[in-house]
Amino acid sequence: MNNLELKIFPLGKLMANSYLVYDRQDRKGFIVDLPSSCETLIDYINEQGIDVLFVALTHAHFDHIGGLNVVEKPFYVQEEDRIFLTDPQLNGSALFADPVIINRPSILYPDLPLKFKDFDIEIIKTPGHTPGSVSLKIANWLFTGDTLFYHSIGRTDIPLASTDVILSSITNNLFSLNDNLIVYPGHGSSTTIGEEKKENPFF
């Protein structure tokens, strides 16, 4: 982890967190979630000379995917969320009268971890907020999208969401991880697995 840098960019109408992970030495990196209005992220990438290899989506709601029409890098999505990319009703953008449609090809997450340099990016299935929500673990960082927040969980009063499923995902697939893992959610401040196990009012 010594050479890895993490930068956080709250972007778009709903201030969704976009995360830039990169190697300080060779300047290669990747992005977790890419909202629209991502000019500050693009400026930083250009100023720092970072070569973005890919974008990894935690899920495919509009506030996490809008920038894919601007930053044309390869991007990964879980199979169950692929339909959200081109359906403004499902991805939520229709509510804002500003439809988000991503027509370029996506890459489905593999069953094995993704590789970034010498690091594995573990893909943890955490459905509930959307059917294809995933959390992404690299070393001691866990990107949870809109599944797990600081003292909260993702909304389930939206199409194809489920309260029972998201609670099961968090309990079985996230709370089984190391308490010291730093949780970087799709909105708001960071936390840890241990903190959420103790203090999250939903559990």
pLDDT digits (tens, 9 = 90+) for 151-191: 999 999 999 999 999 999 999 999 999 999 999 999 999 99
d(CA 67, CA 98): 14
pLDDT digits (tens, 9 = 90+) for 68-116: 999 999 999 999 999 999 999 999 999 988 899 999 999 999 999 999 9
| pTM of structure | 0.97
pLDDT digits (tens, 9 = 90+) for 29-74: 999 999 999 999 999 999 999 999 999 999 999 999 999 999 999 9
Long-range interactions of 193-200: CB distance < 8 A, separation 24+: 193/142, 195/150, 196/148, 196/150, 196/151, 196/170, 199/151, 200/148, 200/151, 200/152, 200/153
Strand order in the sheet with 107-108: 4-11, 16-23, 28-32, 51-56, 75-77, 107-108
pLDDT at residue 2 greater than cutoff 80? no
Q: What is the CATH number of the domain that holds 173?
A: 3.60.15.10
Look at residue 97 in the predicted model and tell me its pLDDT. 83
**Cα-Cα-Cα-Cα dihedral sign, residues 173, 179, 184, 190:** positive
Count of domains forming the chain: 1
* Residue 93 CA: distances (Å) to CA of 19, 22, 60, 108, 196: 21, 30, 11, 22, 30
Between 1 and 138, where is the model more confident?
138
pLDDT digits (tens, 9 = 90+) for 135-159: 999 999 999 999 999 999 999 999 9
Average the pLDDT over 124-129 and give the result.
Answer: 98
Domain containing 166: what range?
Answer: 4-199
Beta-bridged to residue 7, according to DSSP, are: 20
Contacts of 46 (CB under 8 A, 6+ apart): none
Look at residue 1 in the predicted model and tell me its pLDDT. 64
**Cα-Cα-Cα-Cα dihedral sign, residues 188, 190, 194, 195:** negative
Average the pLDDT over 7-32 and give the result.
Answer: 97
